[in-house]
Amino acid sequence: MPVSRVLPLLLVFGFAVTQSVQAQPAKKPVDDKFRTYRLEAKQTGEQSNKVNQMKNGSVNLDPPSAEDKAALLEVARNYVYPVTHQEYYFTPDGPELVARTGESRSPATILRNFRAQLLLPLPASPTTTQLAYIREFGAAAVAAIDEVLAKSPPSVIRINALQLLVAVAETGAPAAFDRTVSLLQTKDEPNHPLEVLYYALNAAEGALGAYDPARGTKWVNKTKHYQLVCLVDDVVQKVPACVIEKAYIPDKPVGEASLTTDPKSKPAEGSLTPEQVDVAQIFRLQAIRALAKVRTDIVTNDTLDKERRPLFTLCRVAVSDPALVPAPSVKELGEAVIGLGTMVPSESVNADVLGLVIAKGVSDFILEKSASGRVLNKDDVQRTHWKLYGMRLKNAYTAWEQSIQKTKLPKAAKDTLSGIAQIGVTAVFDPLTKQTENGTVNLDKAAVDNWYTNRFNAMKGAFDLYTDKPDFKIVGSVRRQ
């Protein structure tokens, strides 16, 4: 998206666009009214030392004592509350708070220090007691973040607090999972803050990526996981109205243009402005990234009386289902294809249809790249991103092919899915990782298209993604080649 259009759109959202600019001296002191949002932590040295012992795994937090909880909360506040401190902000021309950058005291420093206090539940570590620390410090951190948000601060403070929530969600802490669900549950309310929706989707990506059903009842149960998957899935299928409304920029003569975040009447379907298309795709892209973190193609609640099939939604994106408005961008296609290579299909998946969807998604994703070797328009990804996408796709489908062999799918189904995975890696994904400095890539799009055509011509009947339910039909460009 051209810079001339990106910056106005980000301003409409209230995003902290100054994160990427050089530091500037404060032009005047921060107004007193901003001081009302300031919160101060009161941690003691003893509390700090005790929490460090918890982090090192030398304190048993199953269960935590009242004293343990008090120490965790105060230390969490010590890391979270600085987002409300005026010395991290300045006012360039008016009453708006703007984040400092490039200085020792900046929101970036707050986030870096906060992340240093967190632990990630990697496979080889941490210990059982450290897992308890992740859970309990996560709960304390979310409580401190909520204390900041409860004061209804300006958007820049709210954004920085929500970025801390994203970091907690990446640890898999149940409290962050719950808070993300609650934030997304309000996505369809009138005048919903766009920055809250955007960072809630970021948090959902972290939470779904860190979800582990094997951790037990003290963590996230299937019902909560199902709720979050449904909320994210809903955003992919239909971008919330607040996104469309707040992206509306009225046409005015040159010199009279202005930005507005006032709600507008929703345009008729198919008549979105270019700005609305861009913004809708930005939010949906983040939702797709979050949905792509789900590892199973069917998600159920604890009582098994409800289910959602996120694989179907990603398939709809990959084939540019015409019911998705606006049509998916190149980046959305890429993220959807990566997601398809993350979910291990169940026995009820129709492998022939899934294979066609993957092939079509890959073919459409590289259409312009294979035609020109370089970026053609604003919807395409930049040169360095091609190599990154190539590596992500290669890693995903290399691992996916191995996982396919461990499933209970029939041999013919395994062969079909392994076949498209292998062709994708050799003909497209690996070549993308070897792109030259001038943008040249030796892609073999014909190999993917030929595989698609041969499979398509051999198929008979409807394009049902699942063999157990006829409701999940693939429509759109999968039928055309």
pLDDT category at 15 given cuts 50, 70, 90 is very low
- Predicted pLDDT of residue 253: 43
44 CB-near residues (< 8 Å, 6+ apart): 74
Per-residue confidence (pLDDT) for residue 216, from 0 to 100 = 81
- The per-residue pLDDT for 91 is 56
Single out the residue of 86, 84, 61 nearest to residue 71, CA to CA.
61
Read off the pLDDT band of 31 (50, 70, 90).
Answer: low
Q: Beta strand 89-90 with 98-99: parallel, antiparallel or unpaired?
A: antiparallel
pLDDT in tens, 196-227: 999 999 999 999 999 999 888 889 999 999 99
pLDDT of residue 97 exceeding 90 = no
Reduce the DSSP state of residue 58 to 3 states and report it: coil
Q: Cα separation of 34 and 90, whole Å?
A: 10
Residue 250: what pLDDT?
A: 62
Helix (H) or strand (E) run with residue 308 in it = strand 307-308
pLDDT in tens, 374-418: 444 555 555 558 999 999 999 999 999 999 999 999 999 999 999
Per-residue pLDDT of 299-332, as tens digits, reads 999 999 999 999 999 999 999 999 999 999 999 9
Place of tokens 């959305």: 332
Scan for tokens 């395994």, then name that residue.
414
pLDDT at position 400: 97
Beta strand pairing call for 299-300 and 307-308 = antiparallel
Helices (H) and strands (E) in the chain, counts: 20, 4
Q: Given this model, what pLDDT does residue 107 score?
A: 87
Residue 109 buriedness (CB in 10 A; 0-12 / 13-18 / 19+): middle
* Confidence at 89, pLDDT banded by 50, 70, 90: confident
Cα separation of 130 and 456, whole Å? 51
Residue 92 has pLDDT above 60, yes or no: no
| Backbone phi, psi, residue 74, to 5° | -70, -40
Query: How do residues 444-479 score in pLDDT, each as one tens digit?
Result: 999 999 999 999 988 876 789 999 998 899 986 665
The predicted model scores a pTM of 0.87
